[in-house]
Each structure stands twice: as structure tokens, then as C-alpha cells.
Structure 1
Amino acid sequence: MQWRGRRGSGNVEDRRSMGRAGVGGLGVAGTLVVLAVGYFFGIDVTPLVQGLDQGGGQPAELSQRDQEWGEFVSVVLADTEEVWQPVLQQQAGVAYQDPTLVLFSGVVRSACGGASSAMGPFYCPGDQRVYLDTDFFDMMADRMGAGGDFAAAYVIAHEVGHHVQNLTGTLGAAQQPGLSETQANQLSVATELQADCYAGIWARQAQERFGTLDVGDMDEAMRAAEAVGDDVIQASAGRTPMPDSFTHGSAAQRQEWLMRGFDSGDMRQCNTFGAGAL
């Protein structure tokens, strides 16, 4: 991916130095083990991590790798801004408002409540912020077989896709009370797959406008989409994949909708909520 030496976004809030000292004496390595266990077994370990954090750690200096990830995230976020500002207006008649991307380490508080790295990157509509622990990128490479800078860019673009949904009203409309667990999961899958489709639109536009993609970049994104499929994650945790429990979509679905966005470049082709769409 061609990103070095390019404009970064001014909408990045870096809180990582606040948590780099480790959590309650566990240290960085121990903390990551706890978070990894939570991620792979689908357990929110936020209460555990918060309970261990007694606030005694001092802000730690970011490593060179941390700083490079920060620069990378800033450039990718800038690209999403430059893509979605015209595209959202032209295709949906909605003015784009830049989100803020918060970099954190370990645990974080947002308008949507407390969260941990074990939950993975997320978007909070309450404060229009994307929250990301860059250690997730290392986990993707080391534990999920989905490394590469464009795989990481896909993750960011997916979360920005949720911001697009928020601006268009789709995200709010998807919050329907009174649904059964299965129905709520199906609605969640449709929401996540549309964000994948929007990530595909971004990738196409980034290539056309900036020449961002190198050979093999979309392969990296496709491997990442596969790695975060619900069926793959459940199987990796030693569980039998249960489609009714899926909240993000299968690996095949995630890859399909990512490529649908990339091939079409058209938000109208991202209607995952239509009858028979999934």
C-alpha cells in the first residue's frame, strides 16, 4: 500500500501512552494474553482488566512501531475523509462529517461505555468516534494469518463504514427493540456486511484517486475479511460454528460484500438489508 509521505488526518486522538505501562502489574505481555483470550473465546474481559488497573501506571513512551502505526492510521483516515466527502454527497445526498479516530491501549472509555482491546476495533455513534488498539493489527498478523498494511486499512475503512451508516440513518434504524436473539443477530450481520461493502467502495476510490493499492493489497483485505468471519473465529476457538449466533457474517459473506463494494463503487449495491440480500 502506498501511504508513506502522504497527508495525515488531524482527527486522530492518541491515548496509547496512557495505557502502555501495563495493567495492574501484569505488564504489556500479560495484558495482551488476557485480551487475546477474551477475543478468541468471545468474552468481554473489560471488567477483569479494569479491576486489575489500579491507576498506578505512569504514561509510557511509544515505541517506534507504535509511532509508525499511528502515522499509518492517520494517513488511512485522511484517505477515508477525502473519499467519503464527495461520494456520500453524490450518492446519498448527505454531507459527510469527519469522525475522530481514538487510538488506545488495553482499555478505553467512550460515549458507548467502557471497552477493551478484546472487543476489537469499534465505532461509537454516541460520540462519532472510531476506537482502535493498534495491537489488534499485530494480533491479525500473528494469530489470525491476516497481516499486511492493506489488511489493517480494511479494518479502519470498515469502522468508518459504520460512521457512514450513522450519517445516513442506517445505523439508528438497525437498532430495533423487541427482536428475538436470532432476529437481532441477523440485523447485526446485515449492518456489519454493509460496512464491509462500504470499505470496498473506499478501496476502489482510494485506488482511483490516489493510486493507493499495490499488487496483492486486495488479497490482504480478503484474507482479513475471511479471518474475522464469525465461522472462522468460532472454529478457531474450538467451537462448532452456529450461523444463528453470527453477528458479523461468515467469512464468505464478508469477502463477498467487500468485493461487491470494490467492484461497483456504488452505495446502492450495498443494500444488505434488502429481501434475500444475504
Structure 2
Amino acid sequence: MSGLVEGRVVVVTGAGRGIGRAHALAFAAEGARVVVNDVGAARDGSAGGDAPADLVAAEIRALGGKAVVNTDDVADWAGAARLVSTAVEEFGALDVLVANAGFLRDRMLVNLAEDEWDAVIRVHLKGHFAPLRHAAEYWRTEAKAGRTRAARVVMTSSGAGLLGSVGQGNYSAAKAGILGLTTVAAAELGRYGVTVNAIAPAARTRMTEGTFDMAAPEGAFDAMAPENVSPLVVWLGSAESAGVTGRVFEVDGGRVVLADGWRHGPARDKGARWEPGELGPVVAELLASGENPEPVYGA
């Protein structure tokens, strides 16, 4: 290993399983000290009754790395504050926040219950914002004290956030919100030495079982292994990634794609207020001259 993040202090949320676990192990392998956060919930967010964060931290330590466990709910305001405090108290600093925790409660919109909407929005969107908010406060304080850190945030969106996904209205909305939060945080926190980027990964995990459940043939490259996602996240968490901020990367297998977000397209300006009856031909002309949208997953 190259020691790309040697000595850096990294918090990974939802690090007990899947992609989060892969991130935690990858950071530790490159020399980082890792706070392994996971509440041990089931795939749908219900109580899981186990302690996967302990297993991952033990795995890191067995390999000669440094790790501590935090089991706070990252969507709880006080819990998110304790998560940041754990890094500072145990390792003396915080350099990288990887926001990854989440779960699914998939339904078609006509069947989606209020609690299923609220739970998914809470864990993904608030669960990204709350740790970010407390980490940002720490980094601002450090900067004002003359100790500006090469701080990094990596948010976790999804192809569902970029393009939408049938049967996942709650998840798609939350993941799209994370993209908006990423761009705002990048613009606001740069003055404190912080870069903020997002990934939209695809891998075989509990959340995608049944979708990416095909194991690779023996000896072949496993394109859906969660470990494929982590190298980019480790690089984004390194000092080497300075200057890369407010960007979104799709990552799966051996593929890294820079995602293009919403941008201004074709326009027509009358210079005065339009009449409703005038706008049919105008909209038709705009659509004809613009790019067709990418299809929604599952449509």
C-alpha cells in the first residue's frame, strides 16, 4: 500500500457492512485511523440486534491498523455530535468524513406510507447533514485558530439520486437531496480548507441484493464487489485531492465517471411576460434543441 492517508483521522458512517465496511478497511490499509460507525440496523432500518462495527474495528486492528467504534445514530443531532467528538477525543483530530449510512423501504409511490418516506429521508438526508454540520463546526474552529486542516467530505448519493429509480421515490429524493447538499457545502466550506464531493456507487450489498446478486465466475474480476468503490473514496479523502470539490463521481467495478449535473440549457427570452397560449411552440422548440434526459432506472 502507498500510505496515501497515513495518520489521517477518518469517520465512516454505516461502516459495519457492505460499502462502508470496504471504505473503513481501505482507509486503514492506507494508514488512516478510523472511527467505525454503525448502529447495527437491519436492511430496512429496524433494530438489527448485532454489532457489526465491533467486527470491522477488530478486523482493522488484527491487520495492524487503528480503529475505534461508534454506534450513534447519525440522523440524531446529539448522536452526530458524539460521532465527531469520538474522532477528536480518541485520535486528536478529524480529517475526513465519509457519509455512507442508509437503508431502504422501497414502495411504488401509490403504496408508499408516510413513515416509510420519513424514515428514508431521515437516515439518508439528515444522516448526511447532521455529521457534516458538526464536522464543519470543528473545522471552522480549527481554521479560526490557525490550524486549517486539509479536510475532506465524501457524501454517498446513488444513480437513483442522479436519474431516479422506479419504486424508490423516497430513496431517490433523499439521494438527490444529498447532491444538492454536496454542492452547497463545497461552496461554503472551502474557506476552511474543506473539500466536499459525492459518489454514486453501484455494488453488491444488502441494499442491492436481488439486483446485483450475481457472483463473478471463479478467477474473474468481480465487478460488483463493494471493495471496487473504495479506492476513489480513499483518494478523495487524501491531501492529494485538493482542488477537487463540489463534484459527483459514479463508480462501480473498474469504472469512474464524472457525472454532469443540472446545467442551463437552451433558452428563449421574449423580454416581456409570456401569454400562456404562446408557450406551446416555445417549449416544443426548447425540447427539440435540448438533450433528451437519461431514462429513469426501472422505467
TM-score (structure 2 length as normaliser) = 0.29
Higher RCO (Cα < 8 Å, 6 or more apart): 1
The structure in which a higher percent of residues are strand is: 2
Higher Cα Rg, which structure? 2
The structure in which a higher percent of residues are helix is: 1
